[in-house]
Amino acid sequence: MNAPHELPLHAEGVATQENYVGQSVPRSGAKKLLEGRGTYLDDLRLPRLVHVVFFRSPHAHAVIKHLDLSQARKQPGVVAVFDGHEVAKFCTPWVGVLGHLKGIRSAPQFAIAPERACWQGEAVAAVVAQTRRQAEDALDHVMADWDLLPVVTDMEASLAGDVVIHPDLGDNKCFSRELITENFEAEFAKADVVVEKVYEFSRHTGVTNEPRGILADYNPAENLLTVYQGTQTPNMMQDIFSRHLGIPESNVRVICKDVGGSFGIKVHVYPDEMATAAISVMLKRPVKFSADRIESFLTDIHAREHKVKIKLACTHQGDIIAFDMNDLTGIGPYSVYPRTSGIEGNQVVNLTGGPYKHKHYKAKLDVVFTNKNVTCQYRAVGHPIAMAITEGIVDEAARKIGMDPAEFRRRNLIADDAYPYTFPSGVKFEKLSHHQCLDQLMTLMDYKGLRQEQADLRAQGISRGIGLAAMIEVTNPSPAFYGVGGARISAQDGATIRLDPAGMVNVLVSVTEQGQGTEAVFTQIAATAVGVKVENVRVITGDTAITPYGGGTWASRGAGIGGEAVLQAGKVLRKHILDVAAAILKVEAATLDLVNGVVVDKLSGQEQMPLSEVGRVAYFRPDTLPMNFQSELTVTRHYTPREYGFTFTNGIQASYVEVDTETGFVKLLKHWCVEDCGTIINPMLVDEQIRGGIVQGIGGAMFEECMYSEDGQLLNGSMADYLVPMAGEMPDMVIGHVQTPTKTSELGAKGAGEAGTAGAPGAVMNAINDALAPLNANVSVQPFTPQRVLAALGKI
Amino acid sequence: MSENCMHAQFTVNGETVDAQVPVRMHLVDYLRDELGLTGSHLGCEHGVCGACQVMVDGQVIRGCLTLAIQANGKQVQTIEGLTESRELQQLQAAFLEHNAFQCGFCSSGMLLTALEITKHHKQATREEIRELISGNYCRCTGYQAIVNAIESVLVKSSSESGVKV
Amino acid sequence: MKSPEFSYLKAQSLAEVFSALQTHGDTAQILAGGQSLLAMLNLRMANPKILIDISGLESLKGIQQTGDVVRIGALTTHYEVLSSSLVQKHVPLLAQAVPYVAHLAIRNKGTIGGSLALGDPAAEYPAVALALNATLVIQSASGERRVKAIDFFLSLYRTAVQAHEVLIAVEFPVATSNQRFVFSELARRKGDYAMVGMALAISLEGQTIRDASLAFMAMDDKPILAPHAMKAMVGQPINQQTIANAQKGLDADLHPAGDLLANAATKKHLSRVLLSRALMQAGATHV
């Protein structure tokens, strides 16, 4: 077990530095959000600000035959109206491909489509006006003639290629991958039992409470572009604005204020946001784009549209021999930039079967273009599919051989002492704790008791189900995720920590905050590392002009990577503070300690001076210090994970449901999750991340579905028709932990933000199928609506 | 800019507003854009998410489904005003303690619904609390912490008033 | 999305309303609670030239009981209906339905008149009004007319209220002791529009169903009665045979188009389940 910091030697009874790591400290720094005093994107105002709205294609696939903007330009309040050609002069197109996804292809995408719209909602003109409402009024006066093109929305039809969206590419394949371990066919043939199923996952989307937004402010006098954006990765956007708008990198400043939820939605490059930045350059004034909810449904990235056939081969005794998986996924007409829309399917290939110790694996992936909205990484990227198909087929196997599903998992989970471990897909696990987590879960949920309750109620005609889902989760990614493919996406992060004269500690960190409590976690680490009280630490994130250069927030990396940078910087600052104090006191630094903001004698604990005194002398009276002494009360450290491509975590979830077999309605009675994310810095925040993630996963499993007509019209793009989880239908969730710190950092923290979403759909599906099994019914198409349950039961 | 405006007079957080109000502007747009009170948020503008909630004449309503002009003669209170008046103090403290918020975008609306619960549904069970907040969308928390926070205030209030829950 | 432009009139009297309706015809929209209308305006799904705000007309508010009728003013909010002891006591079917209506904040402003005048087939009140054969009180410059619920809901969002008229009240019959009422609804989430919903009112003579009134929501482009099912119940006791017969009657009564949530087969199946459960519940509350 790593020691997150060195505790000072002390005599008994003497005060020690508060160790905030592991404490559920409330987020006092976020209190403003409870008082209506946050600053979200749409709250921002600048002088001469104008608003942009977009004329969006009503057709899923059409050539712009003629676009008449003349009438729109004359409308009250309108400042300018632009088409794709005009904006293209200021913003170059992009292609969403990366080198490490071999063979991935996409077509160039422009900020505003100049010639052809490829999905319903794609912007083909921009109207800029004094107010949003005037801009919307003017939209009615944009005249467009279209030449309709054939539309392909069905994945299988797309793969067949009768309608090719980008003729230059020849077919609709964005990315394909095949993987097969040695001797696979021979080993698979040894199976006593083979179970096979097709699982379908409907595309759904993030529905962040705060829609996307951007405020771009170009100052021609300085050739300086300042962009306010709720992005997860300000440095990545800085690079992209720079390269595509032709402005030097250091002349682009990206600032993140408060963000109303992101979950991956706001980590991608959106054409309408690029257009907004370009228009600011064109008009030489601030321009704001604030997506409304309808636009969000049409254009925020969608995700998770998959049809997967999976086979599991095992022995009579229940030892898994192999998985064989074939995944077809439909993305939009473009691979999203810069992270590509091939990653989600790639993760399904990498992670299927993940918790188990089989050696043989075959996988095939096809990622195809369709004329629906674009898709890309969304919380837990690929994991909800990989874990659901794995855990689903595992339950099928257990059922087939008549073994209790917990027992089946016990038999097959990778042993806790088997690490480091290389998985058949090539991913490496540092150290996981599947069995410890399973043990804890069994106790936490009283598995035996629930099984008895289930049996008792079944006798009364009540159908309850218990579903388990073991999972692994990618966190703390190294450059293996994107950097190696040529993306200018940083996998390292930095923290600059500074003592202010009055004794406050300021920390600038390159990881960003979207509500998960990143800043709070850093105050705790910094306070502990430096030796002050947590209320005397302030964290600043999200400003490329001020914070260190780094990767930002994605793939559950904030605590693990950013936290380590904060820890290292904090430790060094502590040393430098004590060096100053030692110089003031004319003693050896080794005899001093910093405890809760006070410099003390290490052995006796006697107070020597407050931190503010160190600050006073260092900043205002260095003339009183030795001649060759320079105070260094600002320290920067960076950190990037090196040994492992990804630091995997593991966990296991359980769902308890009751199925009304007459109506098909499923009631979620309770949910459990035992998770191992290494060192936990703030248990309350981790638990809440897991709960929020579980409910988001339940959303995809039970409610959420972007419904498209055959001709590519989004049918349910409003909050009334697209069903997000609300409080009335959600269960209470019990969370437990195992802590296996990673040795790749001193902090030992792995990531926790996505695990809830990774395992929830599998657990819920397995619970429903456990309830339906005695009735010979089974559901395999998400979301598990009453209609799908009724169909499975043969009632309709 | 010849926008259709009408005169209205109303109070917002105790201060009088006497102005020409764009007729088509909904109340939250008016509060945000004209008065700079950005604590009420727009999540959908069709009355489903609840992020826009404000109080008018003591009742919680969807601010996006009321015209600013309809506030004429009424008393409007926003999250800013209810914070200032300390009416939300207990709930805010409970939300902080239980981490019943993450990104905070739903919080102003959620707190107003919570306030109404503490006033009119003092005996609400956990299940009833869930039903009563079922019109407020939260994507971050999964709702449990919010239920916990509201429950804790109800329990505290009832024990203080000597009423058994 | 921001609303398109419109003019606004805060009516001080009904006469003013009628005059404005006369002037503007169907380019005018009545604004009561606004919980449906303002959403449509924000979504740019409606484009009226003028909104006539009737929310200040006191004569349209209030709940009174006169003899065997409970009269509810059109501007009574859902919250007021929910908290009314008169409604609880005398119109139990309505009392059962109100908790299903939307959410807390919407109930504070939305009105019963607005809901009835819109006539959304998936909304709660229209089905209740139909099941109880409520009387809708409509007024115009030329006076008052009273329309029974059965004649009120014409087609999708079209009711008997004409362009120059205003719905001013709804009258429900006071429940009698031999009546049983069951309102039930299946929705994906609390407060959502119904996937399928029904309102049942039966009167019992001993063990026998003397009268039955059964209305369905979300099964057509307006709320509808189920006459075959009703006929199968009349003169029968509440037992499994009667339930089965009534369910069979639904086959003839209900021809739903599917919607995004449920196809026709699902809706028909669920209607049978709801009816069965409702009759069992009504039978169980038999004293």
pLDDT tens per residue, range C195-254 = 999 999 999 999 899 999 999 999 999 999 999 999 999 999 999 999 999 999 999 999
Distance from CA of C39 to the nearest CA of B (A): 5
B12 shares contact with chain C (CB less than 8 Å): no
Instruction: Fill in the amino acid letter for A122.
Output: E
DSSP H helices in C98-169: 104-107, 112-118, 124-131
Contact B103 A695 (CB under 8 A): no
Chains with ≥3 CB–CB distances under 8 Å to C: A, B
pLDDT band at B164, cuts 50/70/90?
low
> What does the pLDDT read at residue A2?
42
3-state secondary structure of A750: coil
C102 shares contact with chain B (CB less than 8 Å): yes
Cα separations (Å) of B13 from A37, A726, B54, B84? 15, 30, 11, 9
Question: Which of B53, B82, B103 should we substitute to test contact with A (largest number of A Cβ atoms within 10 Å)?
Answer: B103
> What does the pLDDT read at residue A479?
87
The mean pLDDT of B143-153, rounded to a whole number, is: 98
For A131, the closest chain C residue by CA position comes to C2
Cα separations (Å) of A44 from A78, A275, B72? 21, 19, 27
A208 shares contact with chain B (CB less than 8 Å): yes
B72 shares contact with chain C (CB less than 8 Å): yes
Q: What is the 3-state secondary structure (H, E, C) of A751-763?
A: CCCCHHHHHHHHH
Cα–Cα distance measured from residue C68 to residue C175, given in angstroms and rounded to the nearest whole number: 8
pLDDT higher than 80, residue B31: yes
Cα–Cα distance measured from residue B139 to residue A704, given in angstroms and rounded to the nearest whole number: 13
Q: What are the chain C neighbours of A793 within 8 Å (beta carbons)? A: none
Distance from CA of B90 to the nearest CA of C (A): 21
Distance from CA of B164 to the nearest CA of A (A): 24
Contact A136 C44 (CB under 8 A): yes
Q: Of C235, C190, C197, which Cα lies nearest the Cα of C214?
A: C197
> What does the pLDDT read at residue A9?
52
Instruction: Fill in the amino acid letter for A705.
Output: E
Q: What are the chain A neighbours of C188 within 8 Å (beta carbons)? A: 703, 723, 729, 785-786
Q: Residue C151: CA atoms inside 13 Å, Cβ hemisphere, count? A: 9
DSSP H helices in A531-589: 563-585
Question: Which of C12, C45, C75, C103 should we substitute to test contact with B (largest number of B Cβ atoms within 10 Å)?
Answer: C103
pLDDT (tens digit, 9 = 90+) per residue, A462-477?
999 999 999 999 999 9
How would you class C245 by CB atoms within 10 Å of its CB: exposed for 0-12, middle for 13-18, buried for 19 or more? middle
Cα–Cα distance measured from residue A615 to residue A696, given in angstroms and rounded to the nearest whole number: 46
**Tokens 């009004």, residue?**
C129
Which residue in the set C42, C55, C191 is minimally distant from B134, CB to CB?
A: C191
> What does the pLDDT read at residue A3?
46
**Tokens 């710190």, residue?**
A741
Whole-structure pTM value:
0.97
Which residue in the set C5, C106, C108 is minimally distant from B4, CB to CB?
A: C5
Residue C247 structure tokens: 């369910």
A210 shares contact with chain B (CB less than 8 Å): yes
> What does the pLDDT read at residue A17?
87
Cα–Cα distance measured from residue A316 to residue A191, given in angstroms and rounded to the nearest whole number: 8
B111 shares contact with chain A (CB less than 8 Å): yes
Task: Look at phi and psi of residue A223 and say left if phi exceeds 0, alpha if psi is from -120 to 50, else beta.
Answer: left
Cα–Cα distance measured from residue C263 to residue B135, given in angstroms and rounded to the nearest whole number: 26
How would you class A147 by CB atoms within 10 Å of its CB: exposed for 0-12, middle for 13-18, buried for 19 or more? exposed
**Tokens 């930045």, residue?**
A277
Q: Of C76, C62, C106, C75, which Cα lies nearest the Cα of C11?
A: C75
> What does the pLDDT read at residue B160?
83
> Residue A345: enclosing H or E segment and its boundaries?
helix A343-351
Q: Residue C55: CA atoms inside 13 Å, Cβ hemisphere, count? A: 24
Chunked into runs of 10 residues, chain C (287 residues) has average pLDDT values of: 97 98 95 97 97 97 97 98 98 98 97 97 97 98 97 97 96 97 97 96 95 97 98 97 97 96 97 97 75
Contact call for residues A795 and C265 (beta carbons, < 8 A):
no
Q: At what angle do helices A405-412 and A383-401 cross, to 10 degrees?
A: 110
Residue B18 structure tokens: 């006497």
Contact call for residues C39 and C106 (beta carbons, < 8 A):
no
DSSP code, position A635: E
Q: What residues have CB less than 8 Å from A69, skipping those under 6 apart? A: A81, A82, A83, A125, A142
Which residue in the set C6, C42, C102 is minimally distant from B64, CB to CB?
A: C42
Q: What are the chain A neighbours of B55 within 8 Å (beta carbons)? A: none
Distance from CA of B146 to the nearest CA of A (A): 9
Q: What are the chain C neighbours of A795 within 8 Å (beta carbons)? A: 269
Q: Which parts of chain A have pLDDT scores under 50?
A: 1-5, 8
DSSP code, position A400: H
> What does the pLDDT read at residue B1?
46
